[in-house]
Structure 1
Amino acid sequence: MAKMFLFDALRAATDEEMSRDATVCVLGEDVGHYGGSYKVTKDLHNKYGDLRILDTPIAENSFTGLAIGAAMTGLRPIVEGMNISFLLLAFNQISNNAGMLRYTSGGNFSIPIVIRGPGGVGKQLGAEHSQRLESYFQAIPGLKIVACSTPYNAKGLLKAAIRDNNPVVFFEHVLLYNLQEEVPDTDYILPLDKVEIVRSGKDITILTYSRMRHHVVQAVEALLKEGYDPEVIDLISLKPLDMVSIKESIQKTHKVLIVEECMKTGGIAAELIARINEECFDDLDSAPIRLSSQDIPTPYNGILEQATIIHPNQIIAAVKNMVGSKIS
């Protein structure tokens, strides 16, 4: 085991897969000599050369299209968006090409591409750099969507995504890059379509992902002291949703709270509630509740910015309201 920052875990995953498979390459702005804005590709160009770690112009639509073409013809490209919101410039390529070409070609082409980068509400990065695009990409047929939350799962999930023969949009949170934990030295991969049971419990199911996992864990630590017993599930896969595991949890707890940093309207929680009501309605004792970010552009002002997202005290209050008081 070695203690790693999350960005180092992503770098290690990229390095190991590039060593294992000569078709793996990286494209993006400043990924080469500079090592990436968050150092996920630091020093890799020294090892693999400028053609496998390719610095691109500031033209997301062009280099994403280039990567999709490369994937169609035998390579396994990793596209780094300097900020995930910049990939809106490549939305056409991601939706009409990456998501559809395997289907529209009648299976003649596969698109083994990973599109990754930092998103989420940071610390006063402004509205344009604080976006959560998971709900944007959720509606695109043909994509897999994954959100990492710890150094351990970041490494295992990225390695799995690189090996997958389908396009994977891989979300990282800008405020989790400096999160640190022990990561195995051995080669390992994690499933792209399964939840992670962070904590087993019987009172209520809390579904979350990305940075909100850590807010939920902080809230649960306080709730445990008051006798509450929540089950915490990190979704990991935002598309497809692991409804088998989610349903098993709901059958045990009969209550669901969803905590996300995505916006409330059309967010991941909105899709989850629809699926839960369709598939788990008879197992519910009360309506599912969602705690989501405000439906506004993220303010630059630090106090206002914090007011737009969910915090542990709100999670604690929601659990108490749904479960009721605990008798000591």
Structure 2
Amino acid sequence: MNMIQAINSAMDVMMARDPNVIVMGEDVGYFGGVFRATAGLQAKYGKTRVFDTPITEIGIIGVAVGMGAYGLRPVPEIQFADYIYPALDQLVSEAARLRYRSAGEFISPITVRSPFGGGIFGGQTHSQSPEGIFTHISGIKTVIPSTPYDAKGLLIASIEDNDPTIFFEPKRIYNGPFHGHYDRPAKTWAAHPGGEVPAGYYRVDLGKAAVVRPGNDVTILCYGTMVHVVTSTIDELGPEFGGLDAEIIDLRTLVPLDIEAIEASVKKTGRCLIVHEATRTGGFGAELATLVQERCFYHLEAPIERVTGFDTPYPHSLEWAYFPGPVRIGTALKKLLKD
């Protein structure tokens, strides 16, 4: 399966297992979603369990919070992460606080799915990476898969979780990981069909990072599309470094964060590079750098490096310069390894 198929399979599996699982959002019903992630679900489960909503993000999330409080498990889709901002009040003031405010009498088991990130020529209003905003909100979990297998398992775990979860789907790799140059437009890439994904139920627990590639020279922390960018870059630049033994860690969930895996890796390698697509200031990489410094200071052999998007509004015409790629990642690695 590719990631779209895996996400669709996760919702299908959970709707079959639990009649309280509801899918809702703009065009998710008959049309099957703008990226086809919900294709076929309405035909299979009916219009009362998979239904279209008006174009009102605050209404979508507000209704989902109410549904969750009364025992349902809604999976609302926000068509693009850029459109989620009108719903912030419902997410921050209602969903995130409901269990605490009611002393556990009510919960908010909603899973908000949304495509995020650039790379599909979507322009300023279809390409943002706002994950850092949600990691700051106590009471909300933030999940970002990088593979079809993880996408299905993490989505199932999110739907089963009793707390609200923001499930960001990196649309640049919706149709499979790509090989070649990650600093060039998509038309130059060769698409990969995806990965092995079990057809039935399984879960990938939240809060568990994955070691994509073990190594001893440097720890690279990344998530989503950047996992593939980093892996491709290490393959490309390895000969230039005389062989680069980098440990690549896919965080998978930002909240809860697998800080134990990060700490163990950095203490082993002594060096840390953080890569994410979102803008630099206030990005989640700043939190990662602080945590590494607090826990691994006496093991560090070089200052922590970050490679991120730039502090600009999303630059539609220059998005391929905006994305972290081999040139900027290579420059950061040279600084880390110069000693």
TM interval, shorter chain, is over 0.9
Alpha-carbon spacing, 1:81–1:142, altered in 2? closer, same or farther (3 Å): same
Q: Alignment partner for residue 292 of structure 1, among 308, 317, 326?
A: 308
SS, match of residue 54 in structure 2: coil
Match of 1:149 in 2: 146
Q: Does 1:48 align with 2:45?
A: yes
- What displacement does 1:18 show? 0.3
Q: Alignment partner for residue 208 of structure 2, among 191, 194, 202?
A: 194
Match of 1:227 in 2: 243
Which amino acid letter does the alignment assign opposite residue 313 of structure 2? P
Q: Distance in 1 between matches of 2:322 and 2:72?
A: 41
Match of 2:80 in 1: 83
- What displacement does 1:193 show? 0.5
Q: Alignment partner for residue 207 of structure 1, among 221, 224, 227?
A: 221
Q: Does 1:312 align with 2:311?
A: no
Q: Does 1:138 align with 2:154?
A: no
Q: Which stretch shows the higher mean deviation, 63-72 or 116-125? A: 116-125
Q: TM-score, normalised by structure 1?
A: 0.95
Q: Distance in 1 between matches of 2:270 and 2:73?
A: 43
SS, match of residue 175 in structure 1: helix
Which amino acid letter does the alignment assign opposite residue 268 of structure 2? K
Q: Alignment partner for residue 237 of structure 1, among 253, 259, 263?
A: 253
Q: Alignment partner for residue 11 of structure 1, among 1, 8, 11?
A: 8
| Count of aligned residue pairs for this structure pair | 320
Match of 2:294 in 1: 278
For residues 98-154 of structure 1, the C-alpha deviation after alignment (integer angstroms, 9 at most, x for no partner) is 101111111111111100110101332111211111011111110010001111100
Which amino acid letter does the alignment assign opposite residue 271 of structure 2? K
**Runs of 5+ unmatched residues, structure 1:** none
**Runs of 5+ unmatched residues, structure 2:** 177-193
Alpha-carbon spacing, 1:137–1:307, altered in 2? closer, same or farther (3 Å): same
Alpha-carbon spacing, 1:147–1:187, altered in 2? closer, same or farther (3 Å): same
Q: Distance in 2 between matches of 1:131 and 1:148?
A: 16
Match of 2:166 in 1: 169
Q: Distance in 2 between matches of 1:249 and 1:216?
A: 17
Coordinate RMSD, CA, aligned: 1.2
SS, match of residue 307 in structure 2: strand
- Check the 8 A contact 1:30/1:36 in 2, yes or no: yes
Q: Distance in 1 between matches of 2:65 and 2:245?
A: 46
SS, match of residue 271 in structure 1: helix
Q: Distance in 2 between matches of 1:21 and 1:186?
A: 14
- Check the 8 A contact 1:223/1:229 in 2, yes or no: no
Q: Distance in 2 between matches of 1:324 and 1:219?
A: 18
Q: Percent identity?
A: 43
- What displacement does 1:285 show? 1.2
Q: Distance in 2 between matches of 1:300 and 1:294?
A: 13
Match of 2:191 in 1: none
Q: Distance in 2 between matches of 1:323 and 1:134?
A: 29
Alpha-carbon spacing, 1:123–1:228, altered in 2? closer, same or farther (3 Å): same
Q: Alignment partner for residue 158 of structure 1, among 155, 174, 185?
A: 155
